[in-house]
């Protein structure tokens, strides 16, 4: 009995029927990044495991149970498939001295990996688009990041979305608040679920992010971090919000928004979609001042965000994607017609046309059906008689009109009808 191989659970094929949506999105992303002055960086999908433990935080869900890690059999190094893109981007900047007397605005797109339970909108291998602005510490760049995302959502035609914002202050301010929060949660320990009790001392801020309905009252009534922030943190936060208001961008303050990575501080945000029954975060980010220093570099400010491409594409209305019906399909039957078709196809490709030649050697009817399947605009029909006359038939697939054209006039015909 033969083995039936399948893709690994939580890892999805992108089939030819889905590829146009991906290609459309990738092209938009490239132009969008150019518009805002960001340069692309590409990093390996495998990094040293300790890089993620040190930066993301040992008590986070990602490090505790979601990383794909292994020991390299050649040198015993502990390696991990990257679960997110920020840390690898910063490692590359440090290794290649990109921040020496300089700031950087970088973007990336590629696969990330998390060993978690697959569900709708959540995969074990998924694609992220992310940007990082390094060496810039003002609330103005924080505001531009929001403007940037809002610009993209408008271009993609997204509706029923909401921007949620919060501030996490500095590390020192969070340490002070952490102790107060732990005391509050200890007083309500009977209400905490298993996950809340597990996080009580290791990562108490994440308890506030619980989706458990039975815990919502204690989460909503918990002390607010913003009440324990100093003047500088509050000034940064409210200046950021003031910029958003002047830019006409609506937002909701969510004091329970803490993000799942330990390196965040000050400004944090999430874009949430309400298009379906359950709210879905599809883009999120924030500040990570101090992360560069944590990784062994000089102290540099940083802010960034990432979006889950699969989630964004699920939200995308296919009507937004322009139809690609500029394909010319070559149909041929009879002796020497395939060679004749090859020559014509290459001439047309050389001047920029998209041409697909049928090599299945079936009936004209079957070949024209395939032309329709591929959404061809025109079909070139070549038989032995056309070769003898040095002509071809051109069929406009939508109207089904045919015209006999001299080969010398074929290129002019397609240029005129392009």
Contacts of 232 (CB under 8 A, 6+ apart): 170
Distance CA 298, CA 320 (A): 44
Q: Which two tokens stand for residue 250?
A: 């609506």
Ligand-binding site membership of 264 (annotated): yes
Give the containing element (helix H, strand E) for 394.
strand 391-396
Ligand-binding site membership of 132 (annotated): yes
Distance CA 287, CA 304 (A): 7
Ligand-binding site membership of 128 (annotated): yes
Q: Which two tokens stand for residue 409?
A: 């006039």
3-state secondary structure 144-205: HHHHHHHHHHHHHCCCCEEEEEEECCCHHHHHHHHHHHHHHHHHCCCCCCHHHHHHCCCCHH
Q: Which two tokens stand for residue 163?
A: 């921007």
Instruction: Estimate to the nearest angstrom the gap between the alpha carbon of 288 and the chain centroid.
Output: 20
| Sequential DSSP letters for 357-372 | E--S---HHHHHHHHH
Assign 3-state DSSP to the chain and report helix, strand, coil percentages, each to 5: 40, 25, 35
Ligand-binding site membership of 367 (annotated): no
Q: What are phi and psi of 221, to 5 degrees?
A: -95, 5
Ligand-binding site membership of 377 (annotated): no
Distance CA 308, CA 66 (A): 17
Distance CA 21, CA 188 (A): 48
Give the containing element (helix H, strand E) for 393.
strand 391-396
Ligand-binding site membership of 263 (annotated): yes
Distance CA 102, CA 98 (A): 7
Ligand-binding site membership of 85 (annotated): yes
Q: Which two tokens stand for residue 237?
A: 């936060």
Distance CA 261, CA 246 (A): 30
C-beta separation of 325 from 376 below 8 A:
yes
The helix/strand/coil state of 40 is: strand
Distance CA 319, CA 371 (A): 22
C-beta separation of 168 from 255 below 8 A:
no
Binding residues for L-histidine: 84-86, 114, 128, 132, 259, 263-264
Residues making up the binding site: 84-86, 114, 128, 132, 259, 263-264
């Amino acid at each position: 009995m033969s083995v039936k191989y399948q893709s690994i659970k939580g890892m999805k094929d992108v089939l030819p029927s889905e590829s146009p949506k991906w290609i459309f999105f990738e092209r938009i992303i490239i132009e969008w990044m150019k518009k805002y002055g960001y340069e692309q960086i590409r990093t390996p999908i495998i990094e040293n495991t300790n890089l993620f433990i040190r930066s993301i935080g040992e008590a986070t869900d990602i490090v505790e149970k979601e990383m794909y890690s292994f020991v390299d059999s050649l040198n015993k190094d502990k390696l991990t498939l990257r679960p997110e893109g920020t840390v690898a981007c910063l490692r590359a900047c440090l290794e290649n001295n990109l921040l020496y007397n300089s700031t950087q605005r970088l973007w990336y797109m590629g696969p990330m990996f998390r060993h978690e339970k697959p569900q709708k909108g959540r995969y074990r291998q998924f694609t992220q688009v992310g940007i990082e602005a390094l060496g810039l510490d003002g609330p103005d760049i924080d505001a531009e990041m929001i403007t940037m995302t809002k610009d993209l959502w408008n271009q993609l035609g997204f509706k029923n979305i909401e921007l949620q914002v919060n501030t996490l202050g500095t590390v020192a301010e969070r340490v002070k608040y952490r102790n107060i929060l732990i005391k509050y949660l200890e007083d309500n320990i009977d209400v905490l679920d298993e996950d809340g009790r597990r996080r009580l001392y290791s990562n108490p801020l994440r308890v506030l992010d619980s989706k458990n309905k039975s815990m919502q009252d204690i989460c909503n009534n918990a002390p607010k971090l913003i009440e324990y922030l100093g003047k500088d943190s509050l000034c940064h936060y409210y200046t950021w919000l003031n910029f958003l208001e002047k830019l006409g961008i609506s937002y909701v303050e969510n004091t329970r928004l803490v993000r799942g990575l330990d390196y965040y501080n000050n400004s944090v945000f999430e874009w949430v979609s309400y298009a379906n029954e359950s709210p879905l975060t599809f883009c999120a980010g924030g500040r990570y001042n101090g992360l560069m220093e944590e990784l062994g570099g000089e102290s540099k400010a940083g802010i960034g965000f990432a979006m889950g491409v699969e989630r964004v594409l699920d939200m995308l209305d296919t009507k937004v994607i322009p139809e690609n019906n500029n394909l010319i399909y070559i149909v041929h039957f009879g002796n020497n017609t395939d060679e004749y078709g090859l020559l014509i196809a290459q001439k047309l490709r050389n001047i920029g046309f998209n041409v697909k030649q049928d090599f299945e050697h079936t009936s004209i009817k079957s070949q024209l059906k395939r032309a329709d399947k591929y959404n061809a605009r025109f079909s070139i029909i070549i038989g032995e008689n056309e070769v003898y006359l040095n002509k071809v038939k051109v069929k406009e697939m939508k109207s089904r009109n045919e015209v006999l054209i001299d080969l010398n006039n074929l290129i002019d015909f397609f240029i005129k009808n392009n």
